[in-house]
Structure 1
């Protein structure tokens, strides 16, 4: 009988050691909380790890140690036996959760909050101890519910084994802790209203395809204010806005975590980097970045915010050259034709007057770009994800500019005249455009130029995302001066204008011929409008243009100065009525959305029968590249004429189509016709802030950014070079 009792006692002891006694999980309507152990017992003299396990219902969340804009982190109040002490919570990296314009650093699903317990040597090995804790928490969805859970765990004090039930969860939680990986170097600069965190990748690695998010542990970074990032080869710079209040944390160090969509380490285990840095000076960081980039002269650090004059000068130079080249882009052809006509009309005029008109035109361009700069910076400060040509993402703006171009066309066609005056005894009509016409030409040049991009311009516009407001304003000014430079040059060298044909009867025919360029632009913009609001909306816009045309016809026939005053007044009132009806239809059409709207990919699919384009998403890129596929992404918009030319010239080429087919290239189209924050962030990651942007993503994690203007040779060379490398 005694041997039986001994065996039974041993079996009971083994069972107790292998199966720690836990209380039932605490359960609320949306959350379950329990205390679990990594091992089956407490080992004296060693560090033993336990965890508060929290499992939330779908779409409910609890908070990280810094909850973000709102929320409350979980707190644990321990009741422990003598000889056992608890360390701090080991917080895994949180998720970025955005709700009602506020950003929370939080957890969804299941989390394990690890805590190390130090167990004294003298704790008797025969004892079984009870670990108790009260967990205070806040759980939220649209509404938030505070709560408290009393949980406990009974563990023997003895040699222990791994608790197989929870082993993988403890391992996963440890891997989600921030790690110190020495190969990745970092520095941070305090720029007053923002921090510039610069990360340098080790040799052989870069930031291509890597989605990096910073979570502030110390609370100094404002969660919901707009952030900008700029990646170039081995360097990533994050511009992080400061919070409006001062947290009660160490002001001498910058603390947080960096999460990455691609693991930081070679083994592919750790995706969280610890950030705990002293602050550096801009000059120090610029020199360090230049050294990492392999440029000891320090002349290529345009992506480091504030502090390197040569980099700003380089960006301004690119902006000026890009602005000049915009005049050669298809967007600007309609306004270019108007300016050509204007120069022809001025052949033989006084040189001072020609210079004055050129200066007024330049002033119109500058004022327009400054207004765009103010809108851009204001929207950026309000948290909007925007980029070059952002105004063309508004259907209402597209409708307005379509109407303006259509009216310009009607004016050139002679349907109505602006600026008529009665002169001479024979009451002959003469056109006197005046300085207002030159100013408005500058405004119109700006509005139709910004949907396009050009060589050099992409680099300059991309850098705006990481610039201070003053630097961004200077960059917009440089682009404006570049756009207006050719016209200003001709104005100040009138000898060139004198070589143009003298004004004569032929100009009337020439003027009416130029009107068709404006009509073609209006058709293109109507197509853009249709891609934003649908076919019904496009039909309403076309009807609005008809009403606008009727109003212009009435004004042209009965509103001119040779008619009686009463006739002119009636014509003016009728014109206003038609303009009002046209405006109402445009306003109504601009508000349409939903199933009727068609994406640019849908509208243009028939143009590219040889290449099948699917919709872009970061998940699609990651999925295809992980399966060994090369992915070609065309970030485009229907309002971007350079994009449309690229498609016709490059993607309509038989050799390009055949190469895509033979090599299994996956073609994705990122449609930026309407505002898309995810695409905006991806553009900024490549140093771009507008379209066209074309990127090749490869299976090895590398990527290749193509120039703005494409040819079949450029596309094929980029694809083949990567395949050979």
Structure 2
């Protein structure tokens, strides 16, 4: 620090003289077109670069100072935090050129003992706008000179400087690919003002309080916040900033610096930095905010305790364990029953065969389940990374997928009824697959079980999946792997317990009857999917699916006969099935909104302000768990009477079809799918809602509504 102090009080003139002599001796370091030759000033290598080699009169291009620091050394942001100085540039320019302000990247915190600085290490690129006047003449070669001065520190601080010079030709614009890309990236990543961020500042009990209202800064959406003021000594950077979470934003309490000894007079400009989950990874970002000293912002109800704000409270191990338990319980959910009946049939056939074969069946079923869950997770992560707002059960929001599943269950039912057999050419496509038929069937059963399991949400699953989809890809895949392992475990364990299987009757005539009986759950599943389709697809969806079923029946019938006419009809049937299937279109109106009041944040606030508790049902037509809860609790006479008795208003958030607003609200509450049940107390405060379990009981609902009444009182 002594070097730095000496520099500030008396060495600047002498240093400038030395720099000038060095520049004369080295020939002024004129570089090629868009960049100067690198100048090693000591611990930093400096360059001046531009985004264009040639520019036209009237153009705005970018010029930037590039600094590369030796290992461990750092230089400073526009506000150094503790002792320090930012880089300065003194320009010598032709009259037709002008340079704008530096665009500063987001700094990092550097500790030197108890001193906290806002600084940069390794590399730094400082872009500025370079304006070429309309008066510039085509063909002119303009010389740009800059004297860059900066402080570089590591244990000690050294003032350094570089004199840099480059030429810019006026003419047809010619972009420099390398530096233009680097400058664009620096500008894109630099903190800038964003819509939706409002801030205020006040002095309270010897502390500077910065309140920032933003959806980005709600609980669980971010972590590790820090406020960097533009002006040095606005705060004591050496002392910690204490965050408190509000329901609509963030409060940061910090110790004011000597610049605020006379109180707050002007807006405090600065950058709020925080970690946000972007494309499955926590990334550091910054937003420029202007904290008003005259108008307070509303960040909602503030938690009583201070917090380090680390994002979701559910850790990876807890999420994986919850997913594992949820996967096991998922076997008991109603949407999985039809497919599991196929697995039961497979065990019945193999019960008295070789133990090793039975175990292979269990392993192949497990492999099908795991591959499907991991594939589903990968699709979810890719779609979310591309900006899609999706979640658990997303495939059943697509009418083509729903119709295809209904047709698949219909075909399986036909097979179980004995209308056709997967034999002959169906089983042999290049080799003797007779032995592998059962193993392939076990794998396919695992795949199908996962596909139809997605409309159901078992206990423990919701929080785990919500956590997974907000984490990096590897963590998300681990949670989905645990979910798949839990789902497959009961049948895998059964395959390693042949003594239990031996108790089943030996194969005989009863097997054919049992097989035909299992066709009926397949029919029930197909009918249920047609009902789902009536809400997801347009008015022609069910008819087109039935026509597809007719076409696929014709195809199966024709391809089983030897005559050319029958085979031709079979091909026609298959083509008609495909045509009708892909003629399906999504519905244009919300089915729930026609008969029930639709959810919106604005309607929730309005009803609460009118003095009503609010119950929000996030549901979907294809969500089996949702429908069970509605049938047993919500839509019963007792449930309706409870709503009326407590003066609770019910809103429906129908996610039958893709709705980004509902998907965002689910994610805000740590969920990736439905059901989700929220209970808001009456009033205008911003208190968070109660989140009810996915499997509802009347007592759970009654307790939640009574709690909401007490909170309002």
Q: What's the TM-score bracket when you normalise by the shorter of the two chains?
A: 0.5 to 0.7
Distance 1:201 1:492, change over 3 A: farther
Is this contact kept in 1: 2:381–2:469, CA < 8 A? Answer: no
**Partner secondary structure for residue 616 of structure 1:** coil
Given that residues 223 and 310 in structure 2 are in contact (C-alpha distance below 8 angstroms), is that contact kept between their aligned partners in structure 1?
A: no
| Deviation by residue 1:556-603 (Cα, 9 ceiling, x = unmatched) | xx34xxxxxx43x654543332122011111112x3543xx452454x
Question: What is aligned with 2:298?
Answer: 271
Counterpart-to-counterpart distance in 2, 1:256 and 1:328: 51
1:334 aligns with 2:338: yes
Q: CA deviation at 1:551?
A: 2.5
Equivalent in the alignment of 1:490:
494
Q: Which residue of 2 aligns with 1:544?
A: 548
Residue 710 (structure 2) pairs with residue 724 (structure 1):
yes
Question: Could you list the per-position Cα deviations for residues 637-692 of structure 1 after superposition, in whole angstroms to 9, with x for gaps in the alignment?
Answer: 11111111111011132221111122221111101111111111111111111101
Distance in 2, matches of 1:212 and 1:499, equals: 63
The answer to whether structure 1 residue 516 and structure 2 residue 520 are counterparts is yes
Does the alignment pair 1:575 with 2:597? no
- SS for the counterpart of 1:588 is coil
Q: Distance in 1 between matches of 2:346 and 2:306?
A: 52
Cα distance in 2 between the residues matched to 1:702 and 1:222? 23
What's the offset of the Cα at 1:433? 4.1
Determine whether 1:679 maps to 2:683. no
Residues 268, 705 of structure 1: alpha-carbon distance in 2 compared, 3 angstrom cutoff:
farther
Q: Structure 1 residue aligned with 2:201, among 169, 179, 185?
A: 179
Deviation at 1:356, TM superposition (A): 0.2
Asked whether 1:355 is paired with 2:379, we answer no
Q: Work out which of the residue numbers 499, 502, 510 in structure 2 matches 1:506.
A: 510
Partner-residue secondary structure (3-state), 2:582 = helix
Q: Deviations over 1:177-222 (max 9, x none)?
A: 4436749799xxxxxxx9745699988x863xx4899xx9869999
> Is the 8 Å Cα contact of residues 548 and 579 (structure 1) preserved in structure 2?
yes
In structure 2, the CA distance between the partners of 1:183 and 1:528, relative to structure 1 (3 Å rule), is same
On the 8 A contact 2:212/2:297 being kept in 1, the answer is no
Query: What is the SS of the residue equivalent to 2:387?
Result: coil
Q: How does 1:273-312 map to 2 (within 5 A)?
A: 303=312, 311-312=315-316
TM-score, structure 2 normalization: 0.59
- Count matched residues: 463
Paired residue for 1:624? Answer: 607
Cα deviation, residue 226, structure 1: 5.5
Q: Give distance in 2, aligned partners of 1:384 and 1:221.
A: 23
CA distance in 2, matches of 1:520, 1:315: 34
Quote the Cα distance in structure 1 between the aligned partners of 2:249 and 2:423.
56
* Distance in 2 (alpha carbons) for counterparts of 1:290 and 1:721: 19
Find the residue that maps to 1:385 and give its secondary structure: coil
**Aligned mates of 1:221, 1:489 — CA distance in 2:** 46
Q: Which residue of 2 aligns with 1:714?
A: 700
Residues 1:592 and 1:654: Cα distance change in structure 2 (over 3 Å): closer
TM-score, normalised to structure 1's length? 0.58
Distance in 2, Cα, partners of 1:623 & 1:599: 23
Q: Which runs of 5+ in 2 are unaligned?
A: 1-100, 102-196, 203-207, 214-220, 227-240, 252-268, 428-433
Q: 1:270: how far off?
A: 1.4
Please identify, of 448-457 and 364-373, the stretch whose mean Cα deviation from structure 2 is larger: 364-373
Deviation at 1:411?
0.9
Query: 1:216-269 deviations in whole A, cap 9, x for unaligned?
Result: 98699999x9678xxxxxxxxxx76568xxxxxxxxxx454599xxxx99x994
Alignment of 1:268-667 (within 5 A): 269-271=296-298, 303=312, 311-419=315-423, 433-555=437-559, 558-559=560-561, 566-567=562-563, 571-589=566-584, 591-594=585-588, 597-600=589-592, 602=594, 613-667=596-650
Equivalent pair of 1:326/1:452 in contact (CA under 8 Å): yes
Task: Tell me which residue corresponds to 1:705.
Answer: 691
Contact in 1 for aligned 2:199/2:290 (Cα 8 Å): no
Contact 1:452 1:640 in 2 (8 A): yes
Counterpart of 2:652 (choices 644, 659, 669) is 669
Q: Specify the SS of the correspondent of 2:556.
A: helix
Instruction: Quote the RMSD (CA, aligned, Å).
Output: 4.0
Q: CA deviation at 1:371?
A: 1.3
Cα distance per residue 1:476-517 (max 9 Å; x no partner): 111111111111110111212112222221222221121111
Higher mean C-alpha deviation, range 498-507 or range 688-697: 498-507
SS in 1 for 2:486: helix
Kindly indicate whether the alpha-carbon contact (under 8 Å) linking 1:331 and 1:449 is maintained by their aligned counterparts in 2. Answer: yes
The unaligned stretches of length 5 or more in structure 1 are: 1-87, 89-174, 187-193, 229-238, 244-253, 274-288, 295-299, 305-309, 424-429, 560-565, 606-612
Matched residues in 2 for 1:227 and 1:271: separation? Answer: 29
Residues of 1 paired with 2:538 and 2:408: CA distance?
Answer: 21
Taking a change above 3 Å as real, the CA distance of residues 628 and 226 of structure 1, as seen in their structure-2 partners, is farther
Q: Match of 2:603, SS?
A: helix
